[in-house]
Amino acid sequence: MTIKKVMVIGAGQMGSGIAQVCAQSGFDVLLNDMNKEALDKGMNRIEKLLARSVEKERMTESDKEATMSRLKPSSMLEDAKDCDLVIEAVVENMDVKTSVFQQLDEITPKHAILASNTSSLPITEICAVTKRPEQVIGMHFMNPVPVMKLVEVIRGLQTSDETFTKIDEMAKQLNKTSVEVNDFPGFVANRVLMPMINEAVYTVYEGVASVEDVDTVMKLGMNHPMGPLTLADFIGLDTCLYIMEVLHEGLGDSKYRPCPLLRKYVSAGWLGRKSGRGFYTYD
């Protein structure tokens, strides 16, 4: 089976980024979202990013037009009926994701691979709600997708070698570097990153240093491109909290306990950049 047509479900920042890199790499792509406003915003985001690439001479106008011609909006899951691969990038909630996969299992052709962009949820559990568990896999892209080179390819217990090989090959076609990861809470990226962010929040919570000084230590002392609290605001504090809860529950170790200050900020609606306020204030 050759992957030619791809549907990406969820037109947010991650989903639109995945759709963009797939279309740029020559795949026919449907960007799907039931929310028309979100879908329009996602399509516009892609066009703006491509236009910026043309301005910076990273691609030609004809390449931009060719990419957009391969990209179509979709508001119905039924449009996946002739897709070879579907990549789900909806909200990080197991009930929502399993509902999507159950529907896709009925809609998509028998050969289709179903992938999840989940950053922390168990692929094995997602596999189990379908009648094709050997064709279900995790593809965890990094944000922002058009820039970041890494894709974590996560095998569920039931994922076949053939499915893994197809997705590994596709990652190369997308000009990404893939790493094979087994199905554990947080995989590799978030199992390492999120406890660091959580510990940075604890240093503020316990009065060790200010938000700005914690970020300065990690930037100038550890050569990180951005501080952990700036990064947390970029990711979304609600997402950080959710992943810490998955790690804490899944691994059963108190070192993954989310910081009370992180919980308090999320309860207050201070979610970072997307809400205008997190550890920093944004216009």
* Catalytic hit among 16, 32, 190, 198: 190
- Residue 283: pLDDT band (50, 70, 90) is confident
**Does the structure show a pLDDT above 90 at 1?**
no
Write down all domains in the chain, each with its CATH number in brackets: 5-182 (3.40.50.720), 190-275 (1.10.1040.10)
| Tens digits of residue pLDDT in 77-134 | 999 999 999 999 999 899 999 999 999 999 999 999 999 999 999 999 999 999 999 9
According to the annotation, is 143 in a ligand binding site? yes
Q: For residue 186, what pLDDT is reported?
A: 93
According to the annotation, is 23 in a ligand binding site? no
| Tens digits of residue pLDDT in 37-91 | 999 999 999 999 999 999 999 999 999 999 999 999 999 999 999 999 999 999 9
User: What are the phi and psi torsion angles at 259 (to 5°)?
Assistant: -65, 135
- Inter-axis angle of helices 237-251 and 189-205, nearest 10: 110
Q: For residue 106, what pLDDT is reported?
A: 98
Mean pLDDT for the stretch of residues 174-195: 96
The answer to whether 162 is a known catalytic residue is no
Alpha helices of the chain — where are they, by DSSP H?
A: 13-24, 36-55, 61-69, 94-107, 123-127, 161-173, 189-205, 211-216, 222, 228-235, 237-251, 260-267
Q: Which one has a higher pLDDT value, 92 or 180?
A: 180
According to the annotation, is 170 in a ligand binding site? no
* Catalytic hit among 74, 119, 120, 178: 119
**Does the structure show a pLDDT above 90 at 269?**
yes
According to the annotation, is 92 in a ligand binding site? yes
Q: Among candidates 86, 115, 108, which has minimal Cα distance to 7?
A: 86
**Beta-carbon contacts of residue 15 (< 8 Å; ≥ 6 apart):** 8, 9, 31, 33, 42, 89, 90, 117
The answer to whether 119 is a known catalytic residue is yes
Q: For residue 62, what pLDDT is reported?
A: 96
Q: Among candidates 195, 196, 236, which has minimal Cα distance to 217?
A: 196
User: What are the phi and psi torsion angles at 113 (to 5°)?
Assistant: -95, 135
Strands, E assignment, 53-158: 71-74, 85-88, 113-116, 136-141, 150-155
Longest Cα–Cα distance in the chain: 57
**Does the structure show a pLDDT above 90 at 158?**
yes
According to the annotation, is 166 in a ligand binding site? no
To the nearest whole number, what is the mean pLDDT of the chain? 97
The pTM assigned to this predicted structure is: 0.92
* Catalytic hit among 120, 152, 178, 198: 152
Token code pair at residue 6: 């791809």
Cα(153)–Cα(253) distance, integer angstroms: 25
The answer to whether 152 is a known catalytic residue is yes
- Residue 224: pLDDT band (50, 70, 90) is very high
